[in-house]
Amino acid sequence: MDFKKISTFMSEISDKDKRFLALAKMNGYFPEMSDEEYLCKKYLARMGKPLDLDNPQTFTEKLQWLKIYDRNPLYTTYVDKYEVKRAVADIIGDDHVLPALGVWDSVEQIDFDSLPQQFVLKCTHNSGGFVICTDKTSFDIKDAKEKLRKWLSKNYYYGSREWPYKNVKPRILAEPYISTLGKPNSIEYKLTCCNGIVKNITVCTGIAHVEFSKRHNDNYDRNLNHLSWWAYYENSGMDFTFPEQIDQIIEFAERLSAGIPQVRVDFYLHDGVVYFGEMTFFTWGGFIEFNPPEQDLIMGEWIKLPQKDK
């Protein structure tokens, strides 16, 4: 008998906020519930305070507001991992966008024979849904198909009501394998932009989507001054020397984010070339536990909310 699991279960069913989060996962994130009601309930459960949609002040509150009231259809293109390639290439050039090796509607359609010895398969409609092949001769195709099939069956929008994902067509995208990524010393640059101005640069060191102890995030302002705040991944405590391409990275981020109230634009370097990674409208789903907590209000002041989209 696993007493730890029993204790966790009892804690969840006795606490109404934990119970809501647990039930949300079990029944598909309450698909019948309106975005506003769902986000108010989840914000209270995750952040420990009510969500103020009438007069939002903090960064996390304003991200929830933008989910409901800022629905530019262009955002759906920007979160689609296949469609975004052409949109971004039109702004910063093909040389800075990783090419697609193929795109398919189902796992049965994947043409493995056409793929090189190393590649990455990812879903176009979610975040974190990918499998990596570093050697096709030993690649477990059956396991990869099972993972991809499972991801394709889920609408990523429902978890945190990130509406740009709602109408993205679920597909499988193949991309070249990038040897400089997925390593303990890999570096990504994630630039938080508000109305086309870079406000924060997060230098991420380590493997993406790993436990907090195995990755570091260091934050800098637009002038490359180190900032002490952090969220989930702690600062590395080391001095970071920015590459000479940082000015180009900032320029690209500001061109891509022009006219958007808030978006995070990600890049990485490979063989000295700046490559676009992705655009994220709601970092951590908009549920960010800042350290110190005051950073939530500081960053909230960066966002000038647009008029409500009817």
Indicate if the alpha-carbon torsion angle 63, 64, 66, 67 is positive or negative: positive
Same domain (yes/no): 126, 197: no
Same domain (yes/no): 127, 212: no
Domain count, the chain: 3
What pLDDT shows up at residue 6? Answer: 55
Residue 74 lies in a domain: no
What type of residue sits at position 30?
F
- CB 182 within 8 Å of CB 208: yes
Kindly state the DSSP code that residue 109 receives in the 8-state scheme. Answer: G
The β-bridge relationship of strands 215-220 and 187-194 is unpaired
Q: Considering 114, 141, 176, which residue would you say is the last residue of a domain?
A: 176
Residue 229 lies in a domain: yes
What type of residue sits at position 68?
I
Same domain (yes/no): 125, 231: no
Same domain (yes/no): 159, 269: no
Same domain (yes/no): 221, 295: yes
For position 237, which CATH number holds?
A: 3.30.470
**CA angle, 213 then 216 then 218, to 5°:** 150
**CA angle, 120 then 210 then 155, to 5°:** 60
Same domain (yes/no): 207, 157: no
Mean pLDDT by 10 residues, the chain (310 residues): 59 70 73 94 95 98 98 97 98 98 97 96 92 95 96 93 96 95 90 98 88 88 96 92 97 98 98 97 97 98 91
Owning domain of residue 16: 1-32
Residue 134 lies in a domain: yes
Same domain (yes/no): 107, 157: yes
Nearest-angstrom CA–CA distance, 65 and 63:
5
What pLDDT shows up at residue 310? Answer: 66
Q: Considering 142, 158, 176, which residue would you say is the last residue of a domain?
A: 176
What pLDDT shows up at residue 240? Answer: 92
Nearest-angstrom CA–CA distance, 221 and 203:
11
